Structure 1
Amino acid sequence: MKSFFKYVLATVTGIVISFILLFVVGLIIIGGLVSSMSADKESVVVANSLLHIDLKHEITERTIPDPFEELDIPGFVTTKSFGLNDILKGISGAKEDDRIKGIYLDLSSVSASFATLQEIRDALLDFKESGKFIVAYSEGYTQRAYYLASTADKIYINPEGTIDFRGLASQTVFLKGTLDKLGIEAQVVKVGTFKSAVEPFILDKMSDANREQVSSFLGSIYDHFIVQISASRHIAADSLRAVADGYLVRTADDALTYGLADGKKYKDEILTELKDSLDIEADQDLNAVTLLKYKPAVKSASASFSNRVAVVYAVGDIVSGEGGDNMIGSERISRELRKVRRDDKVKAVVFRINSPGGSALASDVIWREVDLLRKEKPVIVSMGDVAASGGYYIAAAADSIFAEPNTITGSIGVFGVIPNMQELYNDKLGITFDKVKTGRYADFLANVDRPLTADERNILQMEVNRIYDTFLQRVADGRGLSKAQVDSIGQGRVWSGQQALDNGLVDRLGSIDEAVAAAAQKAGLEDYRLVTYPAIKNPLESLLGGSADRISAWFSKQELGQHYRYYEQLKSTLQLRGIQARLPFTLEVY
C-alpha cells in the first residue's frame, strides 16, 4: 500500500509539473503571438515625413512571421528578421509617396551579405532619382554599412567614431583538429580541383587551389565595391584602394580628410539638420516612420487577374523531403514548381535561389521540375547572395540567369563524406561492435564504426564521377555549352557574379525586380499580377510546424551567440549522408 501511494504521489506531482510547464509555455506563445500581431500594425504616415531605415535586423529573402522573435524573456536578447522583399518594396514605395520627403539611414548595424546589400543599394540610388534626399549617420561604419551609406547625399559620423575601410577578407573555419580530438576521420571522395567544401574536414588551412579561387572571386567582389563607392563619392578608385591598403581612416577626422564623410556630428545635431531640411521648428518633433512599420500607399488594383508572374523562392541548404522556410526540400519546391506549371494564369516564373547547395540527388529532383517548367513557360533565375554547387544545379535549366556582381556562384563539383568513428567508439568511449553479414558489401555505408575498404572507396569515387558527369551535362544543355567547356570552368571552382557573367554561367547582372521585368517581357505581358510561392504560413502555423526544433535552435543561439555557427557546422558535418553538391562551409566575406 505504501508503494502504491508513492507511485500515485509521483504521478500527481508529474502531472502538476507538466501542467505548470504547459501553462508557462502557453503564456509565452500567446505573448509572442500578441506581440507579433501588434508589431504588424503599420504606423500612420503624415505629410512631410522621413523614412527611417535601420538594418539591425537579420535580413532574409522574405519576411517570415516568427512569434519566437517577439518573445520578451529576461536575460535573452531577441532579433527580428526582415525580408528583402519588404525592404525593396518600402524604398520603392517611398520614392513615389509624396508624404515621404527623404530617407534617414541609421547604419549602426548591418549584417547582410554583399549581394543583398547590392539590391538595397540600387533601390536607394533609384530613390534618389525622385529628387528626394538621403542622409546617413552612424557612430561607426562597418564596410558593409558604408557600402550603403555611400549612396547618401550626406554622410555624417560621430566625432569620436570611425569608418572601417581596409579591404575585404574571407575566412573559412577548419574542423579537422576538432574531428581529430573526437577520434573521427572524415573519409572524402570528390571531383574537382577547386572543390574545397571537403577541406574543413581534412585540412587545417586552405589548399593552394582554394586560396587561388578565393583570391580571385574576392578580388572581383572588392573591385565592384571600390568602383561603386568611387562613383557615388566622386573619389578615384586608385585613391580609395590606397586609403584601404594603408588603413588610413582610423578617426572621424581621417574620414573627412579622405572624403569618405561629409561631417562630424552628434545625434542631436543630425536631428537639427533633418528638421531644417524639412522646415520643421527646432522645438517640434520630426515626423518619421521606420521601414519596418512603413506600408507604401496601395495603388488601385488594376493588374490583371488572368496574367500572373510567379516568384518561387528557394532558400537554404538543399535536402530531400519537405525542408522548410530556410531549407530547400526537394518535395516542397518541386510541388510548388509543378503548381505554377499547371496554373494557366501563371504566364512566367522567376526562380529566386539563395543556396550554397546540398544533396546532389535532391538537386536533380528539383532540376527536373525546372526543366519541365521551362518547356511550357519562361523561367528566369534570380540569384541572391549565393547560388552555388547544388544552387547552380537547380538554376541551370532556366531560360536566363540573373545574378548580382557580388553573388557567389559556380562551384560545379560534387563530393561525398563518410565519417569513420572507430577511434571515437573504440578508444575514447570503449564501445565495440561485432556483426554478421550475408554479403561482402552488406554493411557498406550502413554504419560509421569502421573505415572504408579500398573497394568501397573505389565504388564511391565512381559514383561521384558519375554524378559530376551528369552535373556537367545538365549545365552544358542549359547553357548551350559543351561538357568540356563546362568542365573547364567547373572543377568545383567558385566565381563571383561578375566572373560568372564573363565565363557564360549567367546571362545578366541585375536584381530580382529586373528578373521579374524580364520574365514578364519574355511572356509578352504588360499588365500582370505578381504572386509568390511557397505560401507564407501565419504565425500560428509557423509555430506549430517544427516548434520543438525552433525552440531548441532559439535557445542554442541565445546561449552560443556568434559561436552558434560553429556548432551548426560541426553538427552538419556529422549528419552528412550521400553525395553532396555544396559550397565550402562558413564561406564569409567581410
Structure 2
Amino acid sequence: MAVKKGRLFLLLLLVAAVGLIIAGTLGQAVPDKTVLELTLASPIAEEDWPDFGARFWEGDVVVFRDLLAALDRAKRDDRIAGISLEVSSNAGMNFGKMQELRAKLGELTAAGKFCTAYLEEGSNVTYYLASACPEIYLTPTSALTLTGLMGHTTFVRGTLDKLHIYPDLYHIAEYKTAMNLLTEKKFTAAHKEMVTDLVTGWQQQLVAGIAAGRKLEPAAVEQILRGGPYLAEEALAKKLIDKLLYYDQYRDLLKSKAGGDKLNTLGLKEYLTRSRAPRGPKIALVHATGAIVTGKSGYDPAIGRYMGSDTVAEALRAARKDDSVKAIVFRVDSGGGSAIASEIIRREVVLAREKKPVVVSMSDVAGSGGYWIAMSANKIVADPGTLTGSIGVVFGKLNIKGFYEMLGLSKDYVALAPNATLFYEFENFSPEQRALMMKFMRDIYDHFLDGVSKGRGLPVEKVDSIGKGRVYLGARAKELGLVDELGGLDRAVAVAKQLANIPAEQSVQFVVYPRPKTPFQQLTEWMQVRTVGWVPPRAWLDPTRSPLWKERALVLVPFELEPR
C-alpha cells in the first residue's frame, strides 16, 4: 500500500510539474505595448520537413501557417501595439504566399495596429512585401533595385548533345512545354508566349500592390520600374520610402510608436508560445506539397520535398473518417508529377467530398498534377498570383546509348516481344511504340479533361480549348472557370465554414495532416531506417534513386518561375 501511495504521489508530482511548465510557458504574459517582430530571412514552407535527412540537408524552415496564425492572433491581441517586418529576402515565397501575407498585414493595419517595414536593401519582391505596410524605412547607404520582372529558363539540350544523350520525349498539347527544357535550346513560340503572359500578369499585380500601398497611380509605378534601380536618396524623393534610418534609429522609432518605457518585442515562435490558439469546431488542414510520386512522402536532394500518393491519400482518408472534423481544407503547393499518383490522390478527394466539404486552397503553384488532385473538390480557392492549370501530359525517355559508346561501353539484349524494349534506355521508340505511347498519353489527357469537366462543371470542349498544357495565373483561371474564388488560406477556411454550416464569426481549430513530427521523432525514425536499410554514399549519385525516375507518364508544370 505504501508503495502504491508513493507511486501515486510521484505521478501527481510529475503531472503538477508538467502543468507548471505549461502554465509557466503560457503564463509568460505578453507585455503591454509589445511589437511583434517578423524577420523574413529563413525559408518559408507550407510544411516542416518530412524527415531528419531533409532538415539536416536544408536547415530549419518557417511554416507559413504559423506566420499567418501569429498575425491573426496579433490582430485581436490588445497587448500587441504593432508589427515590425524586416525583409531581407522573399524567403522562397512566390506570388501566392506573398499576396496572402500582404493581405494579412493589411488586416492588422485595418485593426488599428501600426505596421512598419525595414529594408537593408530592396528588390522587386522584397519591396512588394514591404509595401503592404503603411511605413517603409531603408538603410541610408543602400539602394532600391526596382527594375521590373523578367522570366528566364535554362535549357539543357546542348549539354545532352555533348553527352550524346537523346531526349525521346513527347507531349499533349502545344503549351505543355515541360519537356522543352530537355529537347530545345531556347523558347518555342508557345513557350515564350506563355512565359510572357505570366510575367506580365505578375508585374501588373506587383504594380497594383505597390500603387495601393504607397498611394501612387499605377502608371507612375510602371514608370518607376522602368527607371530603376535607385539610390536611397532617390527612392526617398520618389516617395517610395518614408525615411532613411540605420537599424538602431529604426529600433528607437519602434519604441516611440509602441509608446512604452522600453521597447518590448517578441519573435514569431515566442509569440505563438505565449498566446493561445483559437478553439472551436475542427477543420482538417491536409497538406499536399512538392512533386507528386507514388508511395510515401519524403525528401530527395535532387527534387526537394515530394508528396507520396500513399501518404496524402491516407491523410485525406483519416480526415474523412474523423467525425469531429467538419470540413477539409486541402492545401496544394505542387507543380505536379506522376499521373497515376495524382489520380490516386484525386480519388480520395472524391470519397472525402461524399462525406464532408472539401475546399482546395492553392498556394504558390497548383498546376498540372497539382491541378489534377484539386479539380474534384467542392470549391477551389487560389491567390491571384498562383500558377495553375497546365492541363496536359508528358511522356518519354532519355536514350543514353551514345553516352555509353562515348565511354567505350556497349549494351546488347534479347527481347521476347516487340514492346519489351519500350522503356529500354538504349534505343529510341520504334514507330509502333511511339503510336502505342501516344495512345496512352491521349487516354491520360482525356481522363484529365473529363475530370476537370465534371469537377468544375464545364463542357469537355471548353476544357480542351483552355487546356492544351497552358499555365495560368489564379486571376485568369477564375475568369476561365478553373478556379471558384480568389484568396488565400483564410478565404478557403471561410468557404469551408460556409459549406459546413459553421457560423462565419465562429473560430475554428486546425487538425493538420499529415501529422507533424517533432525533430526528435524525425531523428529516431531516420536512425531506424539507416539501421534497417543503409544506403551507401555512392548510391546517392544514382539518378534512378530519384522518386520521379520511376514515373513514366508525367503531368508537370513546364517551368519553374521565381520572381526577383
Report the TM-score range of the alignment, normalised by the length of the smaller protein.
0.7 to 0.9
- 1-structure distance, mates of 2:525, 2:147: 44
AA partner of residue 337 (structure 2): G
Q: 2:464 aligns with which of 472, 478, 487?
A: 487
Determine if the alignment matches structure 1 residue 53 to structure 2 residue 38: yes
Report the TM-score when normalising by structure 1: 0.83
Structure 2 contact 50–298 (Cα < 8 Å) conserved: no
Structure 2, unpaired ranges of 5+: 1-24, 300-304
In structure 2, the residue corresponding to 1:171 is in which secondary structure?
coil
- 2-structure distance, mates of 1:165, 1:264: 17
Q: 2:335 aligns with which of 329, 333, 356?
A: 356
Q: Report 1:222-233 matches (<5 A).
A: 222-233=203-214
1:96 aligned partner: 76
Q: 2:295 aligns with which of 321, 324, 331?
A: 321
In structure 2, the residue corresponding to 1:339 is in which secondary structure?
helix
Judged with a 3 Å threshold, the aligned counterparts in structure 2 of structure 1 residues 454 and 232 are, in CA distance, closer, same or farther, namely: same
Structure 1 contact 389–583 (Cα < 8 Å) conserved: yes
Q: 1:200 aligns with which of 181, 201, 222?
A: 181
Q: Report 1:186-335 matches (<5 A).
A: 186-247=167-228, 249-280=229-260, 286-295=263-272, 298-299=275-276, 303-304=280-281, 308-324=282-298, 326-335=305-314
Q: Give the number of equivalent residue pairs.
A: 523
Determine if the alignment matches structure 1 residue 442 to structure 2 residue 420: yes
- Farther off after superposition, 323-332 or 234-243: 323-332
- 2-structure distance, mates of 1:207, 1:340: 44
Judged with a 3 Å threshold, the aligned counterparts in structure 2 of structure 1 residues 380 and 69 are, in CA distance, closer, same or farther, namely: closer
Structure 1, unpaired ranges of 5+: 1-40, 72-76, 557-566
In structure 2, the residue corresponding to 1:186 is in which secondary structure?
strand
> 1:546-569: CA deviations, max 9, x gaps?
5689xx99x99xxxxxxxxxx999
Q: 1:410 aligns with which of 382, 386, 389?
A: 389
AA partner of residue 338 (structure 2): S
> 1:102-147: CA deviations, max 9, x gaps?
1111112322111111111111111112211112112201222111
Q: Report 1:470-481 matches (<5 A).
A: 470-481=447-458
AA partner of residue 482 (structure 1): P
- 2-structure distance, mates of 1:169, 1:79: 29
AA partner of residue 476 (structure 2): Q
Determine if the alignment matches structure 1 residue 166 to structure 2 residue 147: yes
> 1:248-302: CA deviations, max 9, x gaps?
x420111112211111111122122222223355xx5x21111233216555975
Q: Report 1:119-134 matches (<5 A).
A: 119-134=100-115
Determine if the alignment matches structure 1 residue 422 to structure 2 residue 401: yes
1:12 aligned partner: none
Q: C-alpha displacement at 1:184, in angstroms?
A: 1.2
Judged with a 3 Å threshold, the aligned counterparts in structure 2 of structure 1 residues 49 and 519 are, in CA distance, closer, same or farther, namely: same
Structure 2 contact 338–548 (Cα < 8 Å) conserved: no
- 2-structure distance, mates of 1:221, 1:398: 26
AA partner of residue 284 (structure 2): A
Structure 1 contact 357–388 (Cα < 8 Å) conserved: yes
1:347 aligned partner: 326
2:3 aligned partner: none
Structure 2 contact 51–298 (Cα < 8 Å) conserved: no
Determine if the alignment matches structure 1 residue 336 to structure 2 residue 335: no
> 1:402-428: CA deviations, max 9, x gaps?
0000000000000113010000112x2
Q: C-alpha displacement at 1:570, in angstroms?
A: 11
- 1-structure distance, mates of 2:239, 2:134: 13
Judged with a 3 Å threshold, the aligned counterparts in structure 2 of structure 1 residues 105 and 59 are, in CA distance, closer, same or farther, namely: same
- 2-structure distance, mates of 1:82, 1:464: 39
Judged with a 3 Å threshold, the aligned counterparts in structure 2 of structure 1 residues 529 and 456 are, in CA distance, closer, same or farther, namely: same
- 2-structure distance, mates of 1:435, 1:252: 68
2:501 aligned partner: 524
Judged with a 3 Å threshold, the aligned counterparts in structure 2 of structure 1 residues 114 and 401 are, in CA distance, closer, same or farther, namely: same
2:360 aligned partner: 381
In structure 1, the residue corresponding to 2:253 is in which secondary structure?
helix
> 1:191-234: CA deviations, max 9, x gaps?
11100101000001111101111111221221111112111110
Structure 1 contact 172–588 (Cα < 8 Å) conserved: no
1:84 aligned partner: 64
In structure 1, the residue corresponding to 2:106 is in which secondary structure?
helix
Determine if the alignment matches structure 1 residue 115 to structure 2 residue 96: yes
Structure 1 contact 82–292 (Cα < 8 Å) conserved: no
Structure 2 contact 51–526 (Cα < 8 Å) conserved: no
> 1:437-473: CA deviations, max 9, x gaps?
222222321x212222111111111111111011100
- 1-structure distance, mates of 2:399, 2:315: 38
Report the TM-score when normalising by structure 2: 0.87
1:137 aligned partner: 118
Structure 1 contact 418–577 (Cα < 8 Å) conserved: no
In structure 2, the residue corresponding to 1:226 is in which secondary structure?
helix
Q: C-alpha displacement at 1:98, in angstroms?
A: 2.2
- 1-structure distance, mates of 2:546, 2:147: 33
Structure 1 contact 171–589 (Cα < 8 Å) conserved: no
Q: C-alpha displacement at 1:153, in angstroms?
A: 2.5
- Farther off after superposition, 524-533 or 181-190: 524-533
Q: C-alpha displacement at 1:515, in angstroms?
A: 0.6
Q: C-alpha displacement at 1:181, in angstroms?
A: 2.0
Determine if the alignment matches structure 1 residue 455 to structure 2 residue 432: yes
> 1:347-380: CA deviations, max 9, x gaps?
2111110000000111111111111221222111
Q: 1:179 aligns with which of 147, 154, 160?
A: 160
Structure 1 contact 156–265 (Cα < 8 Å) conserved: yes
Q: C-alpha displacement at 1:571, in angstroms?
A: 9.0
Judged with a 3 Å threshold, the aligned counterparts in structure 2 of structure 1 residues 588 and 107 are, in CA distance, closer, same or farther, namely: closer
AA partner of residue 558 (structure 2): P
- 2-structure distance, mates of 1:277, 1:443: 72
- 2-structure distance, mates of 1:70, 1:290: 21
Judged with a 3 Å threshold, the aligned counterparts in structure 2 of structure 1 residues 573 and 587 are, in CA distance, closer, same or farther, namely: farther
The percent of aligned pairs where both chains have the same amino acid is 36
Judged with a 3 Å threshold, the aligned counterparts in structure 2 of structure 1 residues 431 and 476 are, in CA distance, closer, same or farther, namely: same
- 2-structure distance, mates of 1:150, 1:366: 38
Q: 2:375 aligns with which of 396, 404, 410?
A: 396
Q: C-alpha displacement at 1:543, in angstroms?
A: 2.4
- 1-structure distance, mates of 2:542, 2:393: 21
AA partner of residue 33 (structure 2): N
In structure 1, the residue corresponding to 2:118 is in which secondary structure?
strand
Judged with a 3 Å threshold, the aligned counterparts in structure 2 of structure 1 residues 46 and 504 are, in CA distance, closer, same or farther, namely: same
- 1-structure distance, mates of 2:46, 2:277: 26
Structure 2 contact 132–209 (Cα < 8 Å) conserved: no
Structure 1 contact 63–81 (Cα < 8 Å) conserved: yes
Structure 1 contact 316–354 (Cα < 8 Å) conserved: yes
> 1:157-198: CA deviations, max 9, x gaps?
111111121111122221112222222111111111100101
